[in-house]
Amino acid sequence: MKYYLIAGEASGDLHGANLIKEISLLDSDAQFRGWGGNKMANVGMTLVKHFKETSFMGFVEVAKNIGKINALFKLCKIDISTWQPEVVILIDYPGFNLRMAPFIKEKGIKLVYYISPQLWAWKENRISTIKQYVDELLVILPFEKDWYQERGVEAEFIGHPLLDELKNFKSKGGKKKTIALLPGSRWQEIKRMLPVMATMKEEFPDYTFTVAALSVHGNDWYNTLVDPEKINIVYDDTYQVLSDASYALVTSGTATLETALFKVPQIVCYKGNRLSFEIGRWLVKVPYISLVNLILDKESVTELIQDEFNEENLKLHLKHLVSNEPNRKRILKDYKALSKLLGENGASKKAAEIIVKVKS
């Protein structure tokens, strides 16, 4: 069977790659083509577009690049029409994927949404698109199944695929006196976040600071944001960076969950384009930005958002994190509860089993 996958960022590339591996074990005739990154390409998918070319964050950034985005839609439609897959698998990336959904169904192609868009946070009205066009909805957060069911949409909770990824990870060492910097995966957010995070090296000279970097952006580019003689830069090995870390400064996203599963106390940070942020604040309905706090339904880890994310605040909260042992133990206890809420291992396998049957 021919499977077409669409992922638009690093986390989608990771989960898409694991899904491809599991589908291949169940379907010996499987062929894969689509949008994603190096990880999906490395496990056998023909890569049409890399996420570094398709990822735009924020309302202002999208508006500025609307011509480029429309061209990407056109390219994707032509490619799907030409290749004629039996199944299209949408992986998160809702701004693009939800707009593609009507076209895919018009073509008579089965449509699976793997890793639901966070409609519970904002733009709930998009649930009508899910109802009308998606054949199978696979969710990875524990509260999502009930949320969709209350609104008349059947969803399958398969657990979180990060649990499988962490199970397969083998550390090359133990915890060190290191503070990990996870500035994000998109170049726009890295450019905003990393220089501020890096200033903490001067405030905490006894700690080694290590950036979890992505080679897709180029090694030289990170060197323009931080001094590589003072701060380590490790490429494409985020889990080893977290495995070594005592504490972490993390840009909001999937990385906050990864950091928690590695049992690393963290401060969650986010700063975006001001206009985009103000629009988002008006639209978003959830009380937290980090997946850790959202799933636990409380502020377990500190969130520094927009104007609160500055050197002075970061220094203050990082000192509290490093020096307050009861606080560290509380966070680790919360992480243990979080891990239980995420379900059991085998999410990618469960997703693959559902997907290979969707055509029949």
Phi then psi dihedrals of residue 138, to 5 deg: -110, 120
- Give residue 293's identity as a one-letter amino acid code: N
Say if residue 300 is in the same domain as residue 267: yes
Question: Domain range for residue 222?
Answer: 167-341
Distance CA 242, CA 236 (A): 12
Longest C-alpha distance within the chain, in Å? 60
Q: For residue 98, give both structure tokens.
A: 């939800």
Q: For residue 359, give both structure tokens.
A: 């055509």
pLDDT digits (tens, 9 = 90+) for 227-273: 999 999 999 999 999 999 999 999 988 899 999 999 999 999 988 65
Running DSSP on this structure, what letter comes out for residue 92? S
Say if residue 227 is in the same domain as residue 348: no
Say if residue 138 is in the same domain as residue 208: no
Say if residue 107 is in the same domain as residue 214: no
Distance CA 262, CA 271 (A): 24
Q: Residue 3: left if φ>0, alpha if ψ -120 to 50, beta else—which one?
A: beta
Say if residue 215 is in the same domain as residue 269: yes
Say if residue 276 is in the same domain as residue 202: yes
Say if residue 136 is in the same domain as residue 49: yes
Phi then psi dihedrals of residue 48, to 5 deg: -85, -50
Residue 353, CA distances (Å) to 22, 325, 348 in order: 8, 44, 9
Say if residue 349 is in the same domain as residue 250: no
CB 305 within 8 A of CB 272: no
Say if residue 77 is in the same domain as residue 6: yes
Report if pTM > 0.85.
no
Say if residue 304 is in the same domain as residue 331: yes
What is the reported pLDDT for 289? Answer: 83
Give every CB contact of residue 103 below 8 A, 6+ residues apart in sequence.
77, 80
pLDDT digits (tens, 9 = 90+) for 129-144: 999 999 999 999 888 9
In the chain (360 residues long), the average pLDDT of successive 10-residue segments reads 93 93 96 96 96 62 64 94 97 91 95 87 81 94 90 93 86 83 90 95 96 90 93 94 96 92 95 55 63 92 92 96 94 94 90 87
What is the reported pLDDT for 137? Answer: 96
What is the reported pLDDT for 55? Answer: 62
Return the CATH number at 102. 3.40.50.2000
Number of domains into which the chain is organized: 2
What is the reported pLDDT for 258? Answer: 94
What is the reported pLDDT for 279? Answer: 43
Q: For residue 287, give both structure tokens.
A: 């009380």
What b/e readout covers 255-272, taking b as 16+ CB neighbours within 10 angstroms?
bbbbbbbbebbbbbbbbb
